[in-house]
Amino acid sequence: MRKLLVAALVILSSLWLSSNTMAETKELRVLLANHPYGDLLKAAIPEFETATGIKVNAESLQEGQLTTKLTTEFATKSSSVDVFMTRPLQEGKMFYKNGWYEPLPGFDFSDYPKNVMSVATFGPKSYLVPLVTEWQVLYYRKDVLKDAGLKVPENFTELEATAKKINSDSLAGFASRGKGAAAVTQLSSYVYNYGGLYLDNGVAVFDAKPAVDAIRFYGKMLGNFGPKGVTSMSWENIMPLFQAGKIAMWTDASVFYGQVVDPAKTQVAAENVGIANFPAGPKMNSPFIVTSWGIALAKQSKNKELAMKFLEWATSKELAAKGMLSNITMARSSVWEDKAILAKINPGLVETRAYAAKNGNPLDRPYMSAVGEARDLIGELVIESINTKGESVSLEKMAKEKVAKVNEILQDTGEYGK
């Protein structure tokens, strides 16, 4: 019995000792997104580990699940996350308000454009480093347009006429996201080009005529020329159809370009896929250009020094250059000025970015804490408009109701009029 006790004590104490030494080894927990840049970081982490001796435990999650996981861990104060990828437009305000971001006073932000930094900064401090930018473009089938003797549409009137002409039972003339909340980001450029906005200085205004007209036009295009069942389609449903050659024109974020020209993933030859500026609307041409992903330090991290080291490495110019060469459109300005890099990436991406950077809008959704709920409400308008092919008689009334609801939410969260 005595021997057994001694043995148990020895085992227990050695376990305790080893757990203590574990704590002393430099370790970080990093949460990444299932995004091409997240994948690139994950693959490069062994280099960081060898160079610094810091062990990195990286987890990759789909974007919605990443927000849920971070929120649950931070809200229950049980998190051991040190560094995480974050979507500034979707969760930035909420994370900032709850104090989950660590400010980054020592970071050199000089390589980031001002409009990109606008969503990373709250008050005088910056809380996240922008990683990737996206802007809206028009993807189109060069062969289809050529066969029909049509040129690439440059405005909404031409877009409609072109879609009408090439639409058939086997080929949808036009596609864009139709799945309620998911459509809100892609609808935004239509709203801007009609002269409307989702929010104006913290007040919902998408019941104004320009915005409602834009929603009608979006519904008319998708209802008449969109793929079947478009009201349940987000990009993950539309992209495979485009790759299968069943869609002629598609407006969505620039981030998908790499995948629609990847011969391993598409049945349409890369030389038949075109990328063009988003068409102009009746009022202007101001497509969204947004910081879709950033990276931040967790406020409750116990290893902030090590975490900062990781963050600096993950946002380095070298990795940004690597990202660019994998068709990831990085947020750093310098990589877009580096001739060696520009020579290797698609000129269509360079041109559409230059256009959007000059004329674009830095938001693609209502910028507020409760953005998920607001997107669902606007999404209802999108679905109504698509189902009625833009002819809905109750769209104005519905828009007023949704605006009232969004304003109520803004008041609830203390953001109304701010």
CA distances from 169 to 163, 228, 247, 251 (A): 13, 10, 11, 20
Helix (H) or strand (E) holding 48: helix 36-52
- Yes or no: say if 325 and 341 are a contact pair by the CB < 8 Å rule: yes
Smallest gap from residue 96 Cβ to other proteins (A)? 8
Would you say 240 or 282 has its CB closer to other proteins?
240
Q: Which of 271, 245, 266, 267 is nearest to 256 (CA)?
A: 266
- Taking the C-alpha atoms of residue 282 and residue 288, their distance in angstroms, rounded to an integer, is 16
Would you say 414 or 417 has its CB closer to other proteins?
414
Would you say 98 or 346 has its CB closer to other proteins?
98
Would you say 82 or 91 has its CB closer to other proteins?
91
Amino acid identity of 286?
A: S
Smallest gap from residue 89 Cβ to other proteins (A)? 14
Do strands 83-86 and 27-33 pair parallel, antiparallel, or not at all (unpaired)?
A: parallel
Would you say 407 or 413 has its CB closer to other proteins?
413
Would you say 94 or 350 has its CB closer to other proteins?
94
Smallest gap from residue 391 Cβ to other proteins (A)? 17
Would you say 341 or 398 has its CB closer to other proteins?
398
Which residues of this chain interact with other proteins, rule CB under 8 A? 64, 67-68, 71-72, 75, 94, 97-99, 179-180, 227-233, 237, 240-241, 244, 246, 369-370, 372-373, 376, 379-380, 383, 387, 409, 412-414
Smallest gap from residue 290 Cβ to other proteins (A)? 20
Smallest gap from residue 123 Cβ to other proteins (A)? 14
Amino acid identity of 224?
A: N
Smallest gap from residue 376 Cβ to other proteins (A)? 8
Amino acid identity of 414?
A: G
- Yes or no: say if 311 and 150 are a contact pair by the CB < 8 Å rule: no
Strands (E), 6-64: 27-33, 55-61
Amino acid identity of 393?
A: V
Smallest gap from residue 138 Cβ to other proteins (A)? 21
Smallest gap from residue 346 Cβ to other proteins (A)? 28
Would you say 351 or 376 has its CB closer to other proteins?
376
Would you say 179 or 309 has its CB closer to other proteins?
179
Smallest gap from residue 93 Cβ to other proteins (A)? 8
Smallest gap from residue 66 Cβ to other proteins (A)? 11
Would you say 103 or 180 has its CB closer to other proteins?
180
